[in-house]
A and B are shown apart, each in its own frame.
Chain A
Amino acid sequence: MEFDLDYLLRQGPALRAGLMVTIQVSAIAIVLSIAIGLAGAAARMLRVPVLNQAFVGYVEFIRNTPLLVQIFFVFFGLPTIGLTLSLFWSGVLSLTLWAGAFQTENLRGGLATISSGLREASRALGLTSFQYLRLVGLPLAVRVSLPSILNTCVSLVKNSAYVSAIGLQDLSAVAFERIANDFRAFEMLSVLLAGYLALVLSLSFSVRVLEHRLQAPFRR
């Protein structure tokens, strides 16, 4: 079978729509999962009584269960107890919960590397624990754990392909539908390869820029 460029161009709009879904789901889940990560890392660092243990359990549970089953549980399971979410938000919720666990670990690891001297200094200056986290701990932790946070984001973009399993029309769902209907495996697989590589690489690039800017105060 030959590579049919005309065919590929005709599928442009559908593929673009799929790509947009992939980007939207990933972008929302990235933002929310980092928020969970910040909350989780703070709760664990401050040893907030119940939250601390809850986050330990949450992280262990997410890390030791398959993402696909988590997605099925959210999309098929939650509606049966009265919690109905749309296809899109089911995808966002599962990816957010999944990535949130890893971001919690990333940021907690970052916080742990900050020397206890800074914390003691903050206390000596009269800062509360919360103020320490907000003004000293987390800003530094984000810088330290940026590479691992990025890794999790890249994985999230990749794993957003899992939402096609519940029928959300993301890039991979659109492409595989075309393979099934038009028998254009070669073209569509090239699109998938190029699409995910482009997403992953552009994400790494933008974070390198961000990293550069975060380092600015420490450069001469």
Chain B
Amino acid sequence: MIETLDLIRANAPLLLIGLRSTLYLAAVTLVAATGIGVLLGTLATLRPRWIRALSALYVEVFRDIPLIVTIFAIFFGGPFLGVPLEPFPAVALGLSLWGGANGAEIVRGGLQSIPHGQREAATALGLHLWKIYLLILWPQALRAMLPAFTGLLALIVQSTSLGALVGVTEFLKAGGLIIETSTVMRGVNPAFGVYGFVLLVYFAICSVITALSRWLERRLARRGGVNTVRAPDAARV
């Protein structure tokens, strides 16, 4: 126990580099997933059936394929298709495609939570479609989607750990490197303590984000009477 703490303290710089990489990856993914989510989620609420079908197909494919397979396909399959990517961009791309599918579901839910009459009223007043979305639907949907997107961020932070498998030195990989070095140099395998510590750090980060998501949900429901979109669940994405 004490040795593990010493080991972690001695390797704090490496762990911090890993943590920074994890958070950076999560931030990039959140931005890209939001972009994809807003685009596809909006398309899913448009009139033409084929547009809705395309959006649904995208969502279905990236939610049904295991995320690890998506990332491996991009990283290992990319070179064969003529798009070799470095580990970090490959993982960021895979996470964004997957996160975008889940974001699209949230955005669709948010837009659909707004009473249909508002849209009809806006149309009757002669507003353009893009103005209806920009001025009426999106601003209201934003409030309904906020807790769910916060919940999605917690899932994204967890999923960045997959970067370790293709060579991104994020937090899990940093822990793995410490274990390897210690095993080789000192002949002691500290895997239990170090991976336990890694679990606890993820738990701390994600609990805070999850708590924030729940708090937003309660607050929006109480203050604004907003029917928020349900936050995605690790066992549903």
Contact = CB atoms under 8 A, between A and B. Distances in A.
Contacts of A179: 76-77, 80
A63 B196 contact: no
A196 B66 contact: yes
Given A63-B234, A81-B192, A172 B68 contact: yes
Which DSSP category, helix, strand, loop or mixed, fits chain A's interface? helix
B66 A158 contact: yes
Contact of A102 (B72, B76, B77, B235): B235
A77 B198 CA distance: 11
Interface residues of B, number: 42
A192 B69 contact: yes
Interface stretch (B41-49, B116-124, B136-144, B158-166): B158-166
Contacts of A116: none
A72 interface: yes
Contacts of B81: 185
Contacts of B237: 155
A130 interface: no
Contacts of A185: 73, 76-77, 80-81
Contacts of B100: none
Nearest to A74: B195
Contacts of B66: 158-162, 172, 196
B199 A70 contact: yes
Contacts of A158: 64-66
A193 B65 contact: yes
Interface in B28-44: none
A189 B235 contact: no
Most chain A beta-carbon neighbours within 10 Å: one of B179, B189, B195, B206: B195
Interface string B45-72: 0000000000000000100111011001
Contacts of A197: 64
Interface of B: 61, 64-66, 68-69, 72-73, 76-77, 80-81, 154, 158-159, 161-162, 164-165, 172, 176, 179, 189-196, 198-199, 202-203, 206-207, 210, 233-237
6 contacts: A65-B203, A68-B161, A76-B179, A156-B235, A162-B66, A185-B77
The 10 closest A-B pairs by CB, nearest first: A161-B66, A64-B206, A102-B235, A66-B158, A185-B80, A185-B77, A77-B192, A66-B161, A76-B191, A73-B195
